[in-house]
Structure formats: C-alpha cells, structure tokens
Amino acid sequence: MILGRPRSINLLVRLLDILLYLNNLMDQGIIENLITSLSKLPGIGRKTAQRLAFFILTMPEEEAKGISRAIDEVKDKARFCKECFNITEDEVCHICSSTSRDKTKLCVVEEPSNILVIERSKSFGGLYHVLLGALSPIDGLTPDRLKINELIDRVRRDSVQEIIIATNPNTKGEMTAQYIREMLKPFNVKVTRIAYGLPIGGDIEFADEVTLSKALEGRREI
Ligand SMILES: [Zn+2]
C-alpha cells in the first residue's frame, strides 16, 4: 500500500496532464474558429482578426454576447428592399415607401451603405437603386450578377425621368456607369453621372492630375 501510493498519484498527475492538454487543444480550436470567422470580414487580415479575437475574449461577457446577438438579429430580420435593394426589415424600404420623395429621379449606387452617406448629405430627395456591386468580369461580377436588369425594369415600369449614376470613381465604377448608360440608351430617360472634384477644404496644389482634370471637365458656371 505504502509503495503503491506514489504510483497512483503519478497516474493521477498524468491523467490531469492529458486532460489539460485536451482542454488546451479545444480552446485553441475555438479561438482559431473565431479568428478564421473574423478574417472573412472585408479589410480584416489574419493579424487584425487575431487582435480582435483576443479583444473579444477579454471583453465583458454581456458586451461580447451583444455583438453576437446583433449579428443574429441582422441575419434573421434584415433583407433587401424588393424595389431598390437597400437593406430593410420590411418588404419595401422606408425611402421607397415614402410619399415625399421625388419618384422621377433614381440615384444608382453600388452598395446599400452608399445610401446612408448620400442621405446624410441631405442633398438628394429622389429614390435609389442599389446594384449590389460593380462590374468586374475578372472576379466573376458580370452584368447578370448585379441588379442592372431590375434597374431597367424600373425605368420601363415607373415614371423615372433621370438616372444619376453614383458608382465609385474607379475603374470598376466607371465601367459599370458606361454599361448602364449603354443599356439605357433605348429609353427616354436622362442619364447623368455625379461630378468628380476636389475635396472641400483641400488645396489644388496637392490634387492628383486625374482628379484635377475631372474637376475641370465637371466645371459649371457661377
Ligand atoms: Zn427601397
């Protein structure tokens, strides 16, 4: 009995070691899973995902679970407006269902988040149409993958008089704008493109040549 005791303690210690090892492996798996999930977000590389994962680990439990609940809720309740593809909780978004908006003007944007920015500027009172992306054939984003046919349907169906193309001022946004302009040629609708210009409060001296030449092209009488 006296001789057997150290052996059973050894066995117990060994068992505990194995349990700790397994526990550690499981923990690493969970954290790894969180890191992999976070790195799927745009602009989040693996290093940032690691930092975020460890930040979440040290957050108060209620705050961390609040993030998770907010994601659940968005995925359960949010959907695209059946008219303009803005994000909404209802079938039709609050902009499309408003009676005070100018239904003859449609502003075409790439993403629903663009609507928020334009709305904040309080400079547009018409309706929107979200393409859900920009043309990029190399990434498989062909016209049929965007909401271009739905835009043409709206032009055909509704009393739209002007389409303002507010896609991004980059190669994909330009290509998309040109494509839409071509597709809308058969219709009796005015197609305009938002102007490029210098940032307010900026200095001409620091503007790049493309911005400056576009700003000159988009000049207007004062
Ligand atoms: Zn809408």
Q: Is the pLDDT higher at 153 or at 209?
A: 153
Mean confidence (pLDDT) of the chain: 89
The residue whose two tokens read 């004062």 is 222
Q: Which CATH architecture has domain 93-217?
A: 3-Layer(aba) Sandwich (3.40)
Query: Which contiguous run of DSSP H or E holds residue 61?
Result: helix 61-77
pLDDT of residue 13: 79
Please say whether the beta carbons of 181 and 165 come within 8 A.
Answer: yes
103 Cβ contact partners less than 8 Å away, ≥ 6 residues apart: 126, 127, 158, 159, 160
Residues 6+ apart with CB under 8 A from 83: 92, 93, 96, 127, 154
Q: Is the pLDDT of residue 22 over 80?
A: no
Contacts of 124 (CB under 8 A, 6+ apart): 105, 107, 118, 164
What is the arithmetic mean of pLDDT over 23-35?
77
State the Cα–Cα distance between residues 190 and 157, nearest whole angstrom. Answer: 16
Q: What CATH number does the domain located at 4-77 have?
A: 1.10.8.420
Q: Does position 87 have pLDDT exceeding 80, yes or no?
A: yes
Asked whether residue 1 carries a pLDDT value surpassing 60, the answer given is no
Å from CA of 130 to ligand 1 middle:
9
Q: How far is the CA of 104 from the centre of ligand 1 (A)?
A: 14
Backbone angles phi, psi at 91, to 5 degrees: -65, -40
Question: Fold match between 4-77 and 93-217?
Answer: no
Domain boundaries, the chain: 4-77, 93-217
**How many Å lie between the centroid of ligand 1 and the Cα of residue 177?**
20
Condensed to tens digits (0 to 9), the pLDDT of residues 115-154 reads: 999 999 999 999 999 999 999 988 888 999 999 999 999 9
Average pLDDT over residues 93-106: 96
pLDDT of amino acid 16: 76
Q: How far is the CA of 95 from the centre of ligand 1 (A)?
A: 6
What average pLDDT does the segment 157-178 reach? 93
pLDDT at 72: 94
